[in-house]
């Protein structure tokens, strides 16, 4: 759904801005796989956005904000018969998009979840190759106030900024290949994953 949100800066309202409201499970914006979002270890990048997360209760599930990690769209080719003649395109499944698991690799996932250690919400920024995952987190305030989030990967270092304050620095990230064929999801993580 669409609504307006007040942007608060130092407890002073600075205006009402259009926003998209996600329900956390079935709503999303997605962009089909695009190679320009396939950041590997030598590719520096920054993801920046305004967000507020309303968490219900003390323990809550992952609230995915943006990710390129779990689901890819695949369009199978037109099937052929045993004699090699093409079948009609109205055959069930021919040229119809299907969602598949994109595998464990991902160039980025950004989500909010209870940290477990202190029972407080944290913002998580992760990257993964086929064998390992790098994860950093920062304390995060849930509620009705918009916050500015920036997740940066630069010179093999992952860093989170919440409202301009740096937090959650990782050490050297030598993951190598993290690219995948996943769609880019905003407000969700997609529907196909065995790697939760």
Q: Would you place residue 152 in the very low, low, confident or very high pLDDT band (cuts 50, 70, 90)?
A: very high
The number of residues in the chain equals: 196
Residues 25, 63: Cα–Cα separation, whole Å: 8
Q: Are 124 and 139 in contact (CB under 8 A)?
A: no
Q: Which of 163, 155, 151 is nearest to 124 (CA)?
A: 151
Q: Over 80: is that where the pLDDT of 115 sits?
A: no
The answer, as to whether pTM is greater than 0.75, is yes
Q: Would you place residue 87 in the very low, low, confident or very high pLDDT band (cuts 50, 70, 90)?
A: low
Which helix (H) or strand (E) element contains residue 153?
strand 147-154
The secondary structure of the chain in percent helix, strand, coil, rounded to multiples of 5, reads 0, 45, 55
Span of 3-12, 39-48, 64-73, 163-172 with lowest mean pLDDT: 3-12
**pLDDT value at residue 59:** 45
Residue 178 burial (10 A CB sphere; 0-12, 13-18, 19+): buried
């Amino acid at each position: 759904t669409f609504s307006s949100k007040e942007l608060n800066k130092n407890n002073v309202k600075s205006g009402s801005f259009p926003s998209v409201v996600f329900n956390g499970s079935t709503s999303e914006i997605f962009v089909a796989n695009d190679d320009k979002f396939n950041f590997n270890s030598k590719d520096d990048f920054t993801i920046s956005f305004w967000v507020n997360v309303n968490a219900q209760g003390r323990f809550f599930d992952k609230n995915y904000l943006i990710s390129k990690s779990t689901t890819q769209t695949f369009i199978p080719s037109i099937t052929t018969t045993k004699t090699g003649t093409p079948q009609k395109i109205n055959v069930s499944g021919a040229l119809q998009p299907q969602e598949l698991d994109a595998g464990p690799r991902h160039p980025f996932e950004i989500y909010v979840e209870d940290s477990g250690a202190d029972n407080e919400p944290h913002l998580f920024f992760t990257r993964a190759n086929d064998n390992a995952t790098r994860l950093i987190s920062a304390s995060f305030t849930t509620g009705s106030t918009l916050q500015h989030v920036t997740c940066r990967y630069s010179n093999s270092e992952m860093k989170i900024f919440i409202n301009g304050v740096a937090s959650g620095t990782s050490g050297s990230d030598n993951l190598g290949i993290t690219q995948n064929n996943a769609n880019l999801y905003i407000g969700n993580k997609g529907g196909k994953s065995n790697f939760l």
